[in-house]
Amino acid sequence: MEHHHAFSESSVYVTCVLLLAFAQSMLLKCFQKVSVAFLSVMEGLSIRSSAEEQIATFDQLSANWWEPTGPMVLLHRLNKLRVPLVVEGLIKVGKLDRKQRYTTDALKGLSILDVGCGGGIYAEALAKLQANVVGIDPAQHLIEVAKAHADKQPDIRDHCQYRVESLDQHWEGAVGKYDVVVLSETLEHVVDKSTLLKQVAAVLKPGGSVFISTWNKTTFAWLLAVVVLENITKHLPRGSHDYEQFIAPEETQGILEGYNCRTVECRPFYLKFWENDWVWVPFMKFTYALHAVKE
């Protein structure tokens, strides 16, 4: 009898937990929809769903891309995390000696593809460490900005190239070509993520590494990216992010595994938006960086 009573209480508890979880989920979804509606009325929020519209959005910002405190300040500041991540990741998988960690030519001789390179902020930082970098992006104005900026720097212009291309256009002529592929703040702008990551795996050499940084698919990430950064602080171009295109780390890892790329590390990071400062954090609620190796 006591056992039956305990079982009954346990069932009630589990049911209550499930109902609370369901209620929380519904409230968050309602909040998201109401917030979108409110922002649409108050600020003319427009969600850009097509690739062409997103390219146009970033093209408009090309003139100010290299201002350290301009519209792209968050990408400039992100280099302090994503560049060391590449070096440390390659040391971890035995592609670099740990003595190279702080050298000025840590990436010398490595071939790197930057997918969705924009105006070249990430690509140039990798080229400064003597990597041979190819940056591709379908936004023509941004590639022109990237080329113009690199051409002024004798130390990188010979090993930092840019092309007006998508990965879909680039990959067939580059199968097994690259030691490293980086996709920083790119995956969340792509609808067909499986095809994109399949092409990433194709252009990597066996043992090559891919480094991805993107937004997690959580309500917290949506609040930060769309509500705060796009519509309140204006740190990101309005309409440049669509929650439906955000992707959870488990899904990213699963897709990569399907193309023989094993995840080595997945590290969450966060933007202290009041300071424009990116930091590594212990909670996977907002953004994450992932390193995988092609087997």
Give mean pLDDT in consecutive 10-residue pieces for the chain, a chain of 295 residues: 52 57 54 39 37 53 76 91 98 96 96 96 97 96 93 94 97 97 95 97 98 96 91 83 94 98 97 91 95 98
Q: Identify the pLDDT of residue 20.
A: 63
Alpha helices in 115-232 (DSSP H): 121-127, 140-151, 167-170, 193-203, 219-222
Q: Which residues are annotated as a binding site for Mg(2+)?
A: 185, 188-189
Please list the residues that pair with 111 across neighbouring strands: 132
Q: Identify the pLDDT of residue 273.
A: 83
**Is the whole-model pTM more than 0.95?**
no
The torsion angles phi and psi of 151, rounded to 5 degrees, stand at -65, -20
CA gap 221, 242 in Å, rounded: 11
Query: Which residue reads 């930057």 in tokens?
Result: 114
Instruction: Give Dmax over CA atoms of the chain in angstroms.
Output: 84
Q: Identify the pLDDT of residue 69.
A: 84
How many CB atoms within 10 Å of residue 67? 11
Q: Identify the pLDDT of residue 239.
A: 81
Amino acid at 138: P
- Tally the residues of the chain: 295
* First CA to last CA distance, the chain: 57
For residue 62, the Cα-to-chain-centroid distance in whole angstroms is 19
Q: Which residues are annotated as a binding site?
A: 82, 116, 137, 184-185, 188-189
The torsion angles phi and psi of 186, rounded to 5 degrees, stand at -120, -40
CA gap 13, 161 in Å, rounded: 60
Q: Which residues are annotated as a binding site for S-adenosyl-L-methionine?
A: 82, 116, 137, 184
The residue among 93, 121, 118, 119 whose CA lies nearest residue 110 is 93
Q: Identify the pLDDT of residue 39.
A: 35
